[in-house]
Structures are given as C-alpha cells and as structure tokens.
C-alpha cells in the first residue's frame, strides 16, 4: 500500500531544482490534459519517494540545508490536509526526521510542522478510501505515540496538541481539488484501532519530571478516555496506577490532579471497575491519594477544589470496598473516620487540625460520603478497633433523637433529616461490630425513645427527599424504618446482654404498639415501607421471645390478636411484589418463636381458630410456605386440642386435613423424583422412598458425626413432618380419602421403617466400600436388608389389596348400575308393548273382539270347576256395557 500511496513519478526526465521537486512546468506530462491529471496537479508537484531518499542520506551541511528546504516544501504542499494514500510515506518521513533530531536540532521545527498536519482532516478521493487505507492510517496515528520518545519538549507538546485536535476538528480554508475531507470521527476511530491511548500512557514515564509536557499528555489522555475502547487499552497499560502515583506531584496550577482524576473517573465508568480498583490498591497509590485528599481538604478554598475533593472521596470509597486495598495501613481510613465524626464528638484530633466545616452543599455531600465509608469499613473486621477508638458509635447515636430542632443550626431541615437517616442507616452496620460500645452508649434506650417519638402525635413532617427518606414525606415512617433496622441488626447477634437490656426496658410492649400502629396505617394505604416496618418488628419479637417462657407470656394475648390478621391475608397479595410474602414469613416465624411452647398462648391461638387459618394457608400449596407451616403444626400437635381442630377443618370442596396432607406428600415425591407407578404403588421395594438425587450419589464414606444423604433429606423434605402429623391424627378412620389416598397412606404409615432401612443400606454400602465385613456382620446386614425389602413387599401387597378391593367394588357398582339400567329398559318395553296393544284394540274391531274372547277365556279359566249345590247363580256380565278394556 505504501507504494500505491506514493505520488506518480514525473513523465519526463527534466531536472528539477531539488531532488524532492517534481517536473518543471514545461514537462511533457503537463501538456496531457485529462480530468485526473488536472485534479492531481498539486500532489504531483512533490515526489515523496525522492524526499525519503534525500532524508536517508547524511553528510554535508549543504545536504542538511537541502533536506530542511525540502521538508518545508512538503509541509507547504500538504498545508490543507494529508491524502490517505500518502500516509505511509509521510509516516516514514516523520520517523527519519525523528532520528535526525538526536544529532541535528534543526529538524525539530519541520517535524513539529509535519505532526501539525495530522491535526488537519485527512483527504480522500473516494468514499472507499477510508476503508482501503485504514491499516496505513491507524499505523500512522499509532506512530505519533511512538514519537513521544523523541527528546524534545516541543515535539511532545505538538503531538499532544495534534491528538487533542482530533476531538475539535476544523476544516481548512482551502480543500485539495478532487478531494474531500474524511468524517469527523474517522481519526478518533483510527486512533482506537492503532492503540494510541496505550502508547501514550506508557509515555508518561518519559515526562515524569517535566510538568508542562506531563499536563499536555494528561490532556490528550483526557480526550482519549472518552472512548470505552481506549479506556480498555489504557487499563491494559496500568493507567490507573500510573496516574495515581503522579497525583501528589508539584503543580501550582492544580491541573495535574484535576485531569488525572477525570481520567480515573472515565476509566471507572468505561471499563471493569474491579480491574481499575485493583490497580489503585497498592500502598503507594493509596498513600498518594490520601496525601492529595488531605491537601485539598486543608488548603482547598475554591468551589472546584471542594468538588475535586469529593471526587477523590468517591474513589476512596471504591477502594474501601476492596478488601485488598491497604486503607488502614496507609492511615487513610483513620483520616476519613476522624473527619466523619469530629463535628459530633467535638474532640480535638491532629489529623483534622485547622479544618473547618463550611456547611456548603459540597461539605454536605462530603459528610454523606464519609458516613458511607464508615458503613463500608464496618464490614472489615480489622477496622473495628479504628471505629471504636475514634468514637464512631457516639457520633452516629448523636442523630438518634427526636427531630424537633436541627442538630446543627447551619444545616437546613431537609439536609439534617437526610444526614440523620443516613447516620442511623450506617449505625445498623456498625452496631453488630461494636457491641460493647453499643451497650455502653445506651443505644437501646436511645432507640426505644426515638421509636416512641416516631409513633407519637408530635407534629413533624418529613421531607422525604433523599434515598433514605423514601416514603417518609409528611410522616415519621423513614425514621421508624431505620430505627427498627438498627434493632434488627442488634438482636440478630443473639447476644444475651443486648436482648436482656432491651426486654428490661419494656421493648416487647413497645414493639407491639409499633406493630399495631403500622398495621392501622396499612389499612389506610399499604406501602413497601410499612410492610418492612412490620416484618422487622416481627423478627425482633421472634428473637426476643424465643426460648424464654416469661417473654412469651408477655406477648401472648395482645400479640396473637395482632398476628391473626396476617394469616387472613388475601393470597393474591403474595404476588404483588410489595413484600407481603416476606411479611407472612415473618409472621409465621413470630408465631413459632413467640407462641409455641407457652400453653396459655397456644390455647388462645387455637381458640381464635388459628389452626384453621394455618390449614387454609397450607391449602394454597405454596412450596415456600408449606415447610414452615407443617413445622408449626407439628409443634402445635403437642397440644391435644390441635388434632381435634385439624380433624374438624374442611377446605374447598369439603377437603379434609388428611386428604390435603396426602396431596402434599404426592407432590413432594413427584418433585423429588421418587418412583411410583400410575396408581401410586411402590416400584423399587429395596429403596421405596429414595429420591432421584439419592440414587445418583456415589458411596461416600463420612465420619460418624456427619449426617448422610438419607438423614439430610429429612430436614430438607416435608415428608417427615407429614408423617409426624399423621402419627398424631392416626392412620385409620380418616374421612374424605379416596382409594389413591389409601395407597399413598400405606407408604406414609411405614415411612420411618423405610427411612431406617435407607440408613442401614448406606451403612452397608460404606462398610463394603472401605473393607470386607466379617461373616457374622455380613449376615446381620443382609438380614436387615431383607427386613427392609419385606417391609416394602408388605406395603406393596397392601396397596395391591386396596386396589383390588377398589376394583372389585367398582365392578359391583357397575353390575348394580347395569341391572338397574336393564330393569328400566324391560319396564320401558312392557309399557311400550301395552300401549301398542291398546292402540290395536281401539283401531281394529276384530282385534277388540279377539281381545274380548281372550279375556272371557281367562275369566273362565279362573273359575272353580266344582259346582255349588246351594245358592243362586250370578252373571258376571254387565249389560249394555260399551267400554273397551
């Protein structure tokens, strides 16, 4: 392509004034006037091949002057733009000039002028030239980056200016005849293809101690980093770490930090955030970032300084999320923690000596970012000591108070509310880490007082402008939400000291009041925040009352009255997406923890038809609900009143509890892949209740204290719970069961025997896998296996007998029905025949007489043949009778 891009050689051998000039105006080629020749007149006036050969020579001073003169003519000739077909030759000329600069500084200016030409729009003759010459153009632009090695500040700056001009293209005043400029984005695309960004990042090492050149390189990279492709190339060259290391360099203008941070932002937005953060996670980078941030914090006074400080703080936040970043080792974490809390605790600290909060919008944003960093650091166990020593707990608890007056008179009411909610949100993350501080600062007391204010009648209208204030406009729901969240995280530690401290202050009664308040508000208008408040309250109550009979008694009557409506929830709400599903789970968990085990509470719940409500929920056959509801029913069955209520319950279409449980069993076995025939009869008598997963597992010997697959299946499946319920309900005289139900019930009745057989089967398999058992042990194991098989065979026989009995009963029913149908048909035939005879007698006189005679004969045949001697004789005929019989 380079040879094609060369200008056409002159047609005549007329000598020119210099080796780089084309033919004279009197040359014969000029006389041939064609359209193409007229358009290429300007390009033919310079032979680039001759220029290259001239530059390759070296020697006398006259030759150097001739070379410089020729280069000026080349620059003059292409002052309106470089044709795409000549890019390869121009690039070669650039490289030759760059080599000569090392010995002859006079070539610096021509080289800069040639580089400047790359800033002009490239010229194309045809639309296809952009594609045809794309390889040469991308390589030529990439060569600009390699020219950064030239030891000339002027050249380096000119290269950067040229790259910047790619993004601010201006058309020249005069265009080449027959040519048109390339598209505005062509150069930018070619720079991406050529990998210019990567080369430019690597060139930062060449300008490390040259501030002006470094700023120009950063400016060029700032433009290049707009593209995602360039950003990926820059990350490949470790741009993030290189830029961060230069952040704290001397720069009176402040451009170094500004441009570097802007490039870092572009890298974070356009490439893999994790990869960029990993590059910034070295100790040197974190330390440099800390120094620059501290300098801006203490010495920044302009609006732009505050914005730049916050930008760096966001980058520091991303670093804090990376556990590999040495935030603590560098001292950056301590600086940020002290800065976040010094206005609340009001204790002097040398790290922030001289800093004064201005309460501007930028300082407000900084405060929120600092709170956010505390929340992130709380997830790192190694940061717990820093958080404790720098008084984070009292600083956050400062905001846990009734919002009657703003905490800082310089913050607006909306700003203070946002800071308050943010601080309480962060407190939820910090509290589990600093339990001792939590208790010593009386956090439970402050939170309970705060929550009491939330449900009080004090006039307060939240602004609800922030993320944390969602749903809290005109009310105190946002404050209640985050206050309860702190308590939820605190009690979830199951720390006796925390829970006892809460209960001693009457938390159970107050939480029930909150639950009642939220439930009443939900009746007016349901919202996500109200559902979350109720779910959190139920969870806190569950933890507090679990395994404590006295607390369950405190909960009993009032708590159950509040719980009952949750179980009457419209099933359609479970799919609303607002959180009703989670609320129902929390209510069931609360029932299990706060009611079961306390006979007073259990009896009251049963009296309120609670068992009926649980069975109604179970009848929905929601898989995520069935397991927990069955578990609750099993626990309730220790109360003798439960089985009575379960026997009485009737669902849709008069469904009984036994039928419902058997249906759930069949669905569970279908999901688990247990083999059954179409009638529900056992197929594999060796492993009658084994799931498909169990059958796929290989024999894996496990220690005695580790549960096997057969044991683990009990905890994960609902079959064990259904078996336990039938043990309470009984296996006989169960109403509402079909033949198929009885077939399934036969399996359920022997579930524990089958499970024991499974365990022995696993033991036998493990023994055979590890070693050969002795004869007596092997006989014993085989005998146990046969017992399990015989049990399975017995159940199959029982199932078969049930099916035969049902089949026989069905046949009897069919025969009875057939006889009824046959009798009905016979009767219908007799009726039809009688009707036909009647019609015949009434329509045919001869038939009537015949019928009369038959009647008389029948009468005569019925008379006695013995003559009576005494008594008168009476005639049986009725005279003058005209009625037809």
Mean pLDDT of the chain: 85
- 558: its two tokens: 């009032």
Partnered with residue 682 across adjacent β-strands are: 676
Please state, in angstroms and rounded to a whole number, the distance separating the CA atoms of residues 548 and 725: 26
> Which pLDDT score, from 0 to 100, does residue 117 have?
87
Q: What is the DSSP string of 82-128?
A: -BGGGHHHHHHHHHHHHHHHTT-GGGHHHHHHHHHHTTSPPEESSTT
Question: Are the C-beta atoms of residues 636 and 607 closer than 8 Å to each other?
Answer: no
Please state, in angstroms and rounded to a whole number, the distance separating the CA atoms of residues 285 and 309: 16
> Which pLDDT score, from 0 to 100, does residue 20 have?
37
Please state, in angstroms and rounded to a whole number, the distance separating the CA atoms of residues 66 and 72: 10
For 28-76, write each residue's pLDDT tens digit.
333 333 444 444 444 446 778 888 888 877 766 778 788 888 888 888 8
Per the listing, tokens 């600062």 go with 441
For 449-469, write each residue's pLDDT tens digit.
999 998 888 777 666 667 776
Q: Looking at the chain, how many residues does it have?
A: 885
pLDDT band at residue 740 under the 50/70/90 scheme: very high
Q: What is the mean pLDDT of residues 124-137?
A: 88
pLDDT band at residue 851 under the 50/70/90 scheme: confident
> Which pLDDT score, from 0 to 100, does residue 326 have?
92
Q: Where are the alpha helices (DSSP H) in 682-718?
A: 692-696, 709-716
For 471-502, write each residue's pLDDT tens digit.
667 688 888 999 999 999 999 999 999 999 99
Residue 774 carries which DSSP code?
P
> Which pLDDT score, from 0 to 100, does residue 81 have?
82
Q: What is the mean pLDDT of residues 402-411?
A: 64
More confident residue, 302 or 460: 302
What are phi and psi for residue 59, nearest 5 degrees? Answer: 155, -105
Question: Among 647, 565, 549, 637, which residue's Cα sits nearest to residue 598?
Answer: 549
- The set of residues, in sequence order, having a beta carbon less than 8 Å from that of 790 and lying 6+ positions away, is none
For 776-795, write each residue's pLDDT tens digit.
888 888 888 888 889 989 99
Please state, in angstroms and rounded to a whole number, the distance separating the CA atoms of residues 282 and 551: 52
- Mapped onto helix, strand or coil, the DSSP state of residue 538 is helix
- Mapped onto helix, strand or coil, the DSSP state of residue 57 is coil
Question: Are the C-beta atoms of residues 552 and 573 closer than 8 Å to each other?
Answer: no
Quick check: 868 pLDDT over 60?
no
Quick check: 542 pLDDT over 90?
yes
Question: Among 115, 204, 213, which residue's Cα sits nearest to residue 156?
Answer: 213
Partnered with residue 83 across adjacent β-strands are: 123
- 345: its two tokens: 């605790």
- Give the other-Cβ count within 10 Å of 308's Cβ: 21
Question: Among 721, 722, 697, which residue's Cα sits nearest to residue 710?
Answer: 697
For residues 314-351, b (16+ Cβ closer than 10 Å) or e, as one string?
bbbbbbbbbeebbbbebbbbbbbbbbbbbbbeeeebeb
Question: Are the C-beta atoms of residues 45 and 22 closer than 8 Å to each other?
Answer: yes
What are phi and psi for residue 180, nearest 5 degrees? Answer: -140, 150
Q: What are the C-alpha distances in Å from 829 to residues 58, 650, 817, 839?
A: 133, 47, 18, 15
Please state, in angstroms and rounded to a whole number, the distance separating the CA atoms of residues 428 and 469: 16
Per the listing, tokens 């279409």 go with 653
Q: What are the C-alpha distances in Å from 841 to residues 831, 836, 884?
A: 16, 9, 8
> Which pLDDT score, from 0 to 100, does residue 102 have?
76
Q: Which stretch of 178-187, 244-253, 354-363, 695-704 has the lowest confidence by average pLDDT?
A: 695-704
Phi and psi based region of residue 210 (left: phi greater than 0; alpha: psi -120 to 50; beta: remaining): beta
For 216-241, write each residue's pLDDT tens digit.
999 999 999 999 999 999 999 999 99
What is the radius of gyration, based on Cα positions, of the chain? 48
> Which pLDDT score, from 0 to 100, does residue 817 have?
92
- Give the other-Cβ count within 10 Å of 816's Cβ: 10
Quick check: 801 pLDDT over 70?
yes
| Residue 463 CB-half CA count within 13 A | 15
Q: What are the C-alpha distances in Å from 170 to residues 167, 210, 698?
A: 10, 30, 73
- 599: its two tokens: 């006979």
Q: What are the C-alpha distances in Å from 839 to residues 836, 845, 852, 854?
A: 5, 11, 15, 17
Whole-number percent of the chain with pLDDT over 90: 46
Question: Among 135, 144, 96, 154, which residue's Cα sits nearest to residue 117?
Answer: 144
Quick check: 770 pLDDT over 90?
no
Question: Among 551, 464, 469, which residue's Cα sits nearest to residue 512?
Answer: 551
- The set of residues, in sequence order, having a beta carbon less than 8 Å from that of 713 and lying 6+ positions away, is 691, 694
Question: Are the C-beta atoms of residues 621 and 667 closer than 8 Å to each other?
Answer: yes
Quick check: 129 pLDDT over 60?
yes
Q: Where are the alpha helices (DSSP H) in 408-442?
A: 413-430, 435-440
Please state, in angstroms and rounded to a whole number, the distance separating the CA atoms of residues 159 and 143: 10
Please state, in angstroms and rounded to a whole number, the distance separating the CA atoms of residues 39 and 29: 14
Please state, in angstroms and rounded to a whole number, the distance separating the CA atoms of residues 595 and 507: 17
- Mapped onto helix, strand or coil, the DSSP state of residue 245 is helix
Please state, in angstroms and rounded to a whole number, the distance separating the CA atoms of residues 490 and 6: 78
- The set of residues, in sequence order, having a beta carbon less than 8 Å from that of 456 and lying 6+ positions away, is none
> Which pLDDT score, from 0 to 100, does residue 546 have?
92
Please state, in angstroms and rounded to a whole number, the distance separating the CA atoms of residues 566 and 576: 15
Question: Are the C-beta atoms of residues 134 and 193 closer than 8 Å to each other?
Answer: yes
For 346-377, write each residue's pLDDT tens digit.
877 787 777 788 888 898 999 999 999 999 99
What are phi and psi for residue 772, nearest 5 degrees? Answer: -95, 120
What are phi and psi for residue 211, nearest 5 degrees? Answer: -60, -50
> Which pLDDT score, from 0 to 100, does residue 271 have?
92
- 204: its two tokens: 């930062």
Q: Which stretch of 25-29, 172-176, 247-251 has the lowest confidence by average pLDDT?
A: 25-29
E strand or H helix at 643, and its extent? helix 640-648
Q: What is the mean pLDDT of residues 295-300?
A: 84
Q: What are the C-alpha distances in Å from 633 to residues 218, 301, 618?
A: 70, 68, 10
Quick check: 26 pLDDT over 50?
no
For 642-658, write each residue's pLDDT tens digit.
999 999 999 998 999 99
- 864: its two tokens: 């006695």
pLDDT band at residue 18 under the 50/70/90 scheme: very low
- The set of residues, in sequence order, having a beta carbon less than 8 Å from that of 609 and lying 6+ positions away, is 645
């Amino acid at each position: 392509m380079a040879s094609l891009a060369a200008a056409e050689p002159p047609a005549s051998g007329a000598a020119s004034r210099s080796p780089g000039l084309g033919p004279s105006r009197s040359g014969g080629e000029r006389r041939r006037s064609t359209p193409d020749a007229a358009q290429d007149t300007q390009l033919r006036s310079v032979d680039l091949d001759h220029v290259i050969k001239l530059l390759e020579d070296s020697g006398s001073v006259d030759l150097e002057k001739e070379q410089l003169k020729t280069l000026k003519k080349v620059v003059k000739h292409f002052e309106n733009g470089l044709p795409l077909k000549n890019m390869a030759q121009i690039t070669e000329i650039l490289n030759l000039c760059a080599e000569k600069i090392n010995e002859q500084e006079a070539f610096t200016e021509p080289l800069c002028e040639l580089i400047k030409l790359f800033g002009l729009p490239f010229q194309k003759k045809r639309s296809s030239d952009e594609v045809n010459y794309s390889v040469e153009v991308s390589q030529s632009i990439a060569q600009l980056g390699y020219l950064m090695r030239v030891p000339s500040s002027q050249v380096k700056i000119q290269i950067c200016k040229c790259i910047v001009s790619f993004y601010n293209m201006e058309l020249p005043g005069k265009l080449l005849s027959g040519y048109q400029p390339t598209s505005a984005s062509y150069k930018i695309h070619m720079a991406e293809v050529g990998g210019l960004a990567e080369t430019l990042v690597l060139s930062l090492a060449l300008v490390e101690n040259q501030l002006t050149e470094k700023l120009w390189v950063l400016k060029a990279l700032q433009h290049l980093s707009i593209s995602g492709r360039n950003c990926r190339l820059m990350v490949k060259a470790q741009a993030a770490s290189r830029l961060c290391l230069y952040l704290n360099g001397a720069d009176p203008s402040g451009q170094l930090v500004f441009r570097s941070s802007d490039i870092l932002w572009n890298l974070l937005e356009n490439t893999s955030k994790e990869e960029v953060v990993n590059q910034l996670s070295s100790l040197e980078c974190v330390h440099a970032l800390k120094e620059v941030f501290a300098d801006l914090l203490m010495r920044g006074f302009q609006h732009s300084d505050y914005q730049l400080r916050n930008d760096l703080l966001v980058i520091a936040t991303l670093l804090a999320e990376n556990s590999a970043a040495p935030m603590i080792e560098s001292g950056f974490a301590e600086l940020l923690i002290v800065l976040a809390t010094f206005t609340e605790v009001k204790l002097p600290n040398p790290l922030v000596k001289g800093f004064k909060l201005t309460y501007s919008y930028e300082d407000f944003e900084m405060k929120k970012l600092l709170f956010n960093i505390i929340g992130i650091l709380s997830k790192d166990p190694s940061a717990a000591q820093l958080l404790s020593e720098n008084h984070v707990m009292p600083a956050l608890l400062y905001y846990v108070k009734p919002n009657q007056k703003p905490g800082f008179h310089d913050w607006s009411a909306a700003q203070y509310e946002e800071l308050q909610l943010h601080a309480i949100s962060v407190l939820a993350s910090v509290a589990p880490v600093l339990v001792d501080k939590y208790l010593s600062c009386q956090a439970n007391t402050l939170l309970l007082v705060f929550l009491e204010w939330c449900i009080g009648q004090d006039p307060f209208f939240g602004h609800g402008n922030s993320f944390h204030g969602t749903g809290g406009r005109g009310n105190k729901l946002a404050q209640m939400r985050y206050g309860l969240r702190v308590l939820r995280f605190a009690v979830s530690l199951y720390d006796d000291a925390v829970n006892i401290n809460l209960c001693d202050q009457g938390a159970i009664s107050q939480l029930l009041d909150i639950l009642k308040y939220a439930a009443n508000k939900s009746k007016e208008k349901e919202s996500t925040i109200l559902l979350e408040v109720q779910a959190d309250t139920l969870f806190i109550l569950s933890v507090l009352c679990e395994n404590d009979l006295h607390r369950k008694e405190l909960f009993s009557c009032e708590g159950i009255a509040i719980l009952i409506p949750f179980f009457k929830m419209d099933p359609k709400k479970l799919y609303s997406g607002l959180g009703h599903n989670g609320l129902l789970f929390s209510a069931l968990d609360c029932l299990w923890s706060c009611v079961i085990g306390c006979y007073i509470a259990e009896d009251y719940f049963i009296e309120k038809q609670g068992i009926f409500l649980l069975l109604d929920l179970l009848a929905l056959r929601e898989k995520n609900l069935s397991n927990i509801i069955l578990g609750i029913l099993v626990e309730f069955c220790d109360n003798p009143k439960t089985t009575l209520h379960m026997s009485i319950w009737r669902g849709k279409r008069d469904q009984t509890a036994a039928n419902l449980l058997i249906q759930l069993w069949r669905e569970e076995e279908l999901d688990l892949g247990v083999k059954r025939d179409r009638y529900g009869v056992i197929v594999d008598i060796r492993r009658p209740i084994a799931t498909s997963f169990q059958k796929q597992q290989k024999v894996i010997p496990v220690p005695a204290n580790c549960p096997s697959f057969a044991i683990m299946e009990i905890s994960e499946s609902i079959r064990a719970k259904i078996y336990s319920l039938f043990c309470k309900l009984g296996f006989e005289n169960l109403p509402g069961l079909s033949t198929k139900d009885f077939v399934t019930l036969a399996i359920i009745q022997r579930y524990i025997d089958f499970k024991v057989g499974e365990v022995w089967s696993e033991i036998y398999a493990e023994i055979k896998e590890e070693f050969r058992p002795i004869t007596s042990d092997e006989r014993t194991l085989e005998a146990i296996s046969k017992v399990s098989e015989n049990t399975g065979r017995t159940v199959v026989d029982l199932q078969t007998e049930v099916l035969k009995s049902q089949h026989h009963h069905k046949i009897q029913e069919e025969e009875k029905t057939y006889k009824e149908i046959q009798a009905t048909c016979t009767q219908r035939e007799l009726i039809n025949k009688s009707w036909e005879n009647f019609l015949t007698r009434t329509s045919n006189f001869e038939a009537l007489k015949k019928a009369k005679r038959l009647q008389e004969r029948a009468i005569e045949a019925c008379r006695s043949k013995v003559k009576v001697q005494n008594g008168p004789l009476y005639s049986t005929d009725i005279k003058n009778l005209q009625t037809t019989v």
